[in-house]
Amino acid sequence: MRSPVISLIGRPNVGKSTIFNRLLGNSMKAITYNKPGVTRDRHYGILSYSNEKEEERDIILIDTGGFYPDLEKVEDDKLYSVMAEQARLAVKESDLVLIVMDVRDGLLPFDDSIVKFTRKEKKDFWIIVNKFDDDKLIGTEADFYKFSDSDIFLTSAEHNRGLNDLKEKLLGFSDNFHGEESNLFEGVKPNFPIGGRVSIIGAPNVGKSTLLNYLVGNERASVSQIAGTTIDPIEGFIDIDFGQDVKHLLNNSFRFKKDEISLYEKVQEALENDDDNEESEQETSLIEDTIRSLKIVDTAGIRRKSHIDGFIESQSVYRSLRAISESDVVVYLVNGEQGLTTQDKKLMGISIEKGKTLIIAINKIDLKEEVYSDKKEKKEFLLDFQYELPWLKYCHPVFISAKKGWGINSLKKALIEGLVSRKKSIPTGALNRVLHSLVDSNPIMIRGSGRTNNFKLKYGAMVKSDPPTFLLFVNKSRGIPTQYRRYLVNGIRKAFPIPNTPIHLVFRRGKGKPEEMTTK
């Protein structure tokens, strides 16, 4: 039994996103601002609750941008056309439509046209008369009661009035809902435990939304030639088989969040209660061992700070940077036609500083086939690329075309490799053999307290993964040259392959013996 899908539809700036955030109990889910056109994509949120039978249920909520059913009225504005198409798609995939109107504006012809469109699509709908902020407005809602075939709710999302009644009614609708499964919601919810979080980062108009849509197999994000179409981060989920070789890492290391518990557990519970489904139980048990869902976040394009224009773009950039912080892997998209920019290098640097696995995806290779299909030309491109980023030699670029699906399998393999490398545990004994060999092969002198001493390593140990972090006990913890730190990191990386992932070294002065450190 699938979850009901309920969309919020209405003219621009009637409070849809604020209602969406209130219902989900998350004030940061969607950007809200007193200006039309802030929401552009379809935003999905999961409202989870327990019914009277103590059964766990979900409602899929969809927030949409301003909706004008008659596209001819906005044909001169390409951005509003994109928003309207997203709203149309939301109506088509909904089981219930919440049509939001503004009591202060009164009933407008556009409101009537939205109701007519919803009826034409044969969808059940409720009328939400929003911005009913004050009792002085009593009586001004009379015109809205013309929609006698609909439930009507008076709300003030800004002041949280009337939303408890609306929420209770929605829960009742969900309890009585029985809908058939559909592939419309592919990628909306995880099917397995979360195996990692991936953010897609890059400059405006490099193909981030196209890549998200291709990965999840659904039109989750708006794709437009207009740079800056995406403002809010858009989430989706894909399932990846990591293989039996890393099963121990999947079972022991991958993390969970309460808001990302998957349908997998519910499926397992149903199978356990079905005595006639022994074969399915075995198949599901095998899947459990090796498949994980990855959370993919498409972010707004990040321009240079001097080019950021106004509150809305600054908020979208802030949320994109926050997506980097909350992810395990950053897929950085580079425009294959234009090559690397200074802004690309800065954003890659931010990802590395935050300890994220970095996969550099060169996109739009379908537009330069003559380069990417010729081995010599491709090699020259890679040499130029490495020259531009000498400090990122351990990040191997992947060539893709998000539009045509070229190189997506290579990207998925890179995701698996990157996530697994973040979880590696290196034994203390093997690590120390490598570290002592590196120091003995290349000894250095360190100046400190007016004296110069030989740099000596006592021992080292891996203290954490995600990203790999090593604690080295030495005789001098300050003044170690940057190039020597890089030398040690490269030596560790060569001995214990850790591609696409930064390695952190922590130096500490201390006394003790190697056996005092526990082997990880």
Indicate whether 412 and 512 sit together in one domain: no
Same domain, 44 and 96: yes
Read off the tokens for 500: 């696409």
Torsion sign (Cα): 505, 509, 513, 515: negative
What percentage of the chain reaches a pLDDT higher than 90? 23
Whole-angstrom distance, CA of residue 153 vs CA of residue 418 = 49
- 392 and 417: one domain? yes
Structural domain of residue 49, as residue ranges? 5-182
Task: For tokens 């972090």, name the residue.
Answer: 469
**Entry field: residues in the chain:** 520
CB atoms within 10 A of CB 200: 32
The CA distance from 331 to 500, in Å, is 10
Q: In this predicted model, which residue has the larger pLDDT, 276 or 63?
A: 63
Mean pLDDT of 486-496: 91
Given a cut of 80, is residue 284 above it in pLDDT?
no
Specify the pairing of strand 56-63 against strand 5-10: parallel
Residues 119 and 254 in one domain: no
508 versus 43: which is more confidently predicted? 508
The domain boundary residue, chosen from 127, 153, 182: 182
* 162 pLDDT tier (thresholds 50, 70, 90): very high
Q: Looking at the structure, tell me whether residues 413 and 450 fall in a common domain.
A: no
Residues 372 and 237 in one domain: yes
State yes or no: pLDDT of 459 exceeds 80. Answer: yes
The confidence score (pLDDT) of residue 344 equals: 84
Instruction: Report the pLDDT averaged over residues 171-176.
Output: 90
Alpha carbon 345 to its chain's center: 21
pLDDT, position 83: 67
pLDDT at 492 over 90: yes
Q: Averaged over 139-143, what is the pLDDT?
A: 88
| pLDDT band for position 78 (cuts 50, 70, 90) | low
Residue 296: exposure state from Cβ atoms within 10 A (0-12, 13-18, ≥19): buried
Cα–Cα distance between 514 and 160 in angstroms, integer? 60
Name the domain count of the chain. 3
Distance of CA 148 to the CA centre of its chain: 41
Statement to judge: residues 441 and 494 lie in one domain: yes
Q: What is the pLDDT of residue 411?
A: 93
pLDDT of res. 448:
65
Same domain, 136 and 46: yes
Percent of the chain with pLDDT over 70: 74
Q: Tell me: the pLDDT tens digits for 375-434?
A: 887 788 788 877 888 777 788 889 999 888 899 999 999 999 888 888 888 888 999 999
Where a domain ends, among 130, 150, 182? 182
Q: What is the mean pLDDT of the chain?
A: 77
pLDDT at residue number 171: 92
Q: What does the pLDDT read at residue 487?
A: 93
User: Are both 418 and 434 inside the same structural domain?
Assistant: no
Is residue 437 located within the same domain as residue 366? no
From 320, 296, 315, select the one nearest 202 (Cα to Cα): 320
**CATH number for 474:** 3.30.300.20
DSSP bridge pairs for 239: 293
The residue from 423, 456, 479 where one domain ends is 423
| 350 vs 51: which has the higher pLDDT | 350
When pLDDT is averaged across residues 160-169 and rounded to a whole number, the result is 92
User: What is the per-residue pLDDT across 428-449, written as a single tens digit (0 to 9) for each?
Assistant: 899 999 999 999 999 998 876 6
Provide the CATH number for the domain around residue 305. Answer: 3.40.50.300
| Mean per-residue pLDDT, 221-250 | 65
Hey, is 295 helix, strand or coil?
A: strand
Judge whether 509 and 475 are in contact, CB under 8 Å.
Answer: yes
Residue 359: its pLDDT value, please?
Answer: 93
Q: In one letter, which amino acid is 391?
A: W
Is residue 189 pLDDT above 70, yes or no? Answer: yes
* Confidence grade of residue 467 (pLDDT, cut at 50, 70, 90): confident
266 shares its domain with 244:
yes
- Whether the Cβ atoms of residue 16 and residue 9 lie closer than 8 Å to each other: yes
Same domain for 316 and 205?
Answer: yes
pTM for this structure? 0.68
